[in-house]
Amino acid sequence: MHTEPYIPASFWTERVLGFTAFGFIRVGLISLGLILLGHVEMPRGTALPIWGFHVASRNTGRNREMEAFHYRVNTPLRNSNNYNTVFLVSMQRMISVQACNSARLLTVSSTSAAPPAKNNKKRTPRDYSAKTSISTSRPGSSNPAGKTQKLNLEVSPHRAVSAVRLMRIELGGAFADLLNDQGKGSGDNEMGYVERTLGFRTRDLADRDLRLVTEIVGGTIRWRRYLDHLILSLCHDENTFRGMEPLLLQILRIGFYEIVKLDMPPYAVVDENVRLAKIALRPGAGNMVNGILRKLVVIKESNSLPSPKVEGDDRQKARALAIIHSHPVWMVRRWMKYLGQEKAIELMTWNNSDPYFSLRANAGKGFTRADLVTQLEMFKVPYELSAHLDDFVRIKTGMQVVIQAGLLKRGLCSVQDESAGLVVSVVDPRPGDTIVDCCAAPGGKTLFMASQLSGQGRICAIDINEGRLRILKETAELHEVDNVVTTTHADLRTFAGKNCVKSDKVLLDTPCSGLGVLSKRADLRWNRRLEDMKELKHLQDELLDAASMLVKIGGVLIYSTCSIDPEENEERVVAFLQRHPEFYIDPADRYVPSNFVTEHGFYSSNPVEHSLDGAFAARLVRSR
């Protein structure tokens, strides 16, 4: 026979009295806390969990406003109109986390020591899942005690700076406007934002961290399409990837690049990027980063990274190659058409490789290549002499050393690719020449030509961008060639019609797609569209017609681009000659090595054939 166990009356008396006393103590503590909050200024957004209750600071109204704002704007990444608003909320969270650091650590320690009590008042958790699949909350996984999670706030500086810089590049002007009320978006404002939100200054970064920032930002941009392919393949579904906030996606790209391309210790990469996601966004974002990166580690260690097969028709092959080599599909199809598949792959491999840099000694200031070599050897910067130009040397590493040594700041040398220097060789500036440099800013070719005039002659530098033209003028003064360089702020198309003075030589370094310099301009491949090519061709024709009006009889018009696309190069010259039969081609083999000269007499440098940036120049003489 079953009998209920005997419970003495004293047991219930003790429990009732104890619970009552405990309740009074608890109510008293809550009241005391509310009184203190009325007299003590707490950081914005601070929340104090007191045994199951969440007592917010004075700014609860503002907190609810920001939560509602985040709910409204947390829309999928592919809706570019919401880039800036989503990231604005991320910035607010980063600032709030840093401000609440001390209070959080204190409250975590106190709440962990106290037993959680039942909370009869149901608290609605913050909802981040609107129109996105970032949220990691599941039924039954809420935190009833309302404990504030303790976050490890030690973030790798180079990863934090890289994430912010990638946001700046991808969002462009929208991000710059967020950093600066005037919309200038300077680098100082960008780094000031990092300092305010993450608590360290860029100038305090070690040289190693600065190099890592350069490597990670450049590499992540170059390999963006391939990295996104990997991230998508490891997400739960496509909606998860499409719904990611921009900052979360940048953090994942950084982690994938470090693991796949830099071969960094995988679990260290996972840990650091999880921390960054938790601080910059929220703990749930850190959980997502943790899960996806750990999947990547597993498949990389098993050599089973997903890669598309290059098969099918040309369109299908182009799509596969675009993923493998991380380029826009339209570019790949275009290069396969003009170069063939093998050459197109070589070109994309070049674009994804670490770029070299060329330094030009400033002969106009009396600083020779021998002097430059002496400086490089003194600072132990590896170099090689240019095989094509007497004033140039090439370096693969050590650019930070050159900058810190002040060689650029003092005007002793300039960063200029040899392909651009060879365009100046096609111009063939000589003492006494009058030269018009159309679309001159930022002025690399202008300054090189000025250094060859030996103080005799004149260069009129024209550009439509007044700010860049001002920089050109200041640099000319620094290089001590301002006695032969004058600047004019104007649109060439209107300037040419009003100017009746004819010049010996006119250089038109026209706006172009820049498809020849993608190794150094990593972001350019993602900023160009197929539609741009049609617009550029029309602009180039207009500028050519205008520039031709400035050339005297017997003078020379030099048309140049930094593109390898035939439609911007040879085809534009042919169309111009049909409109202007008074001009004829002067073969470039008298001015540059013959291996740079095409069958039609044009100068052309190709990254695959010459290991230089892509460039083009045609020398056209006016006969009447």
Q: What letter does residue 597 receive in the DSSP assignment?
A: B
Tell whether 491 is in a known binding site: yes
Q: Three-class SS string for 5-55?
A: CCCCHHHHHHHHHHHHHHHHHHHHHHHHHHHHHHHCCCCCCCEEEECCEEE
What's the rounded Cα separation, in Å, for the pair 546 and 492?
Answer: 7
Of the candidates 594, 573, 595, the one whose C-alpha atom is nearest the C-alpha of residue 585 is 573
Question: Does the annotation flag 534 for ligand binding?
Answer: no
d(Cα 271, Cα 258) in Å, to the nearest integer?
A: 12
How many CA atoms does the CB half-sphere of 266 hold within 13 Å? 16
Q: Is 295 a known ligand-binding residue?
A: no
Residue type present at position 230: L
CA atoms within 13 A on the CB side of 577: 17
Instruction: Provide CB contacts within 8 A for 572, sequence distance 6+.
Output: 537, 540, 541, 544, 559
Pair 107, 48: CB distance under 8 Å: yes
CA 589 to chain centre: 39
Known binding residue 115? Answer is no
For 185, what's the count of Cα atoms within 13 Å in the CB-facing half-sphere? 14
445 among annotated binding-site residues: yes
Consult the annotation and say whether 140 binds a ligand. no
Give pairs for 78-85: CB < 8 Å, separation 24+. Answer: 78/242, 83/170, 83/171, 83/174, 83/175, 83/246, 84/171, 84/174, 84/175, 84/177, 84/178
Cβ atoms 134, 285 nearer than 8 A: yes
> Which tokens sit at 247?
């900052």
For 386-401, the DSSP string reads -SS-TTEEEESS-HHH
Residues β-bridged to residue 48: 55
Distance CA 258, CA 266 (A): 8
Q: Which of 100, 438, 460, 562 is catalytic?
A: 562
Residues facing residue 384 across a β-bridge: 394
> Which residues make Cβ contacts (< 8 Å) with residue 562, sequence separation at least 6?
419, 420, 512, 514, 516, 517, 613, 614, 615, 616
Establish whether 443 is an annotated binding residue: yes
- In 559-575, which positions are buried (b, 16+ CB within 10 angstroms) versus exposed (e)? bbbbbbbebbbbebbee
CB-CB contact of 329 with 318 (8 Å):
yes
Structure tokens at 24: 């009074």
Annotated catalytic residue 562: yes
Handedness of CA 585, 435, 489, 465 (dihedral sign): positive
Q: How many other C-beta atoms are found inside a 10 Å radius of the C-beta of residue 376?
A: 21
Instruction: Report the chain's terminal Cα–Cα distance, integer Å.
Output: 126
Q: Is residue 439 annotated as involved in ligand binding?
A: yes
Token look-up 């180079």 returns 158
Residues tagged in the binding site annotation: 439-445, 463, 491, 509
Enzyme catalytic residues: 562
Residues tagged in the binding site annotation for S-adenosyl-L-methionine: 439-445, 463, 491, 509
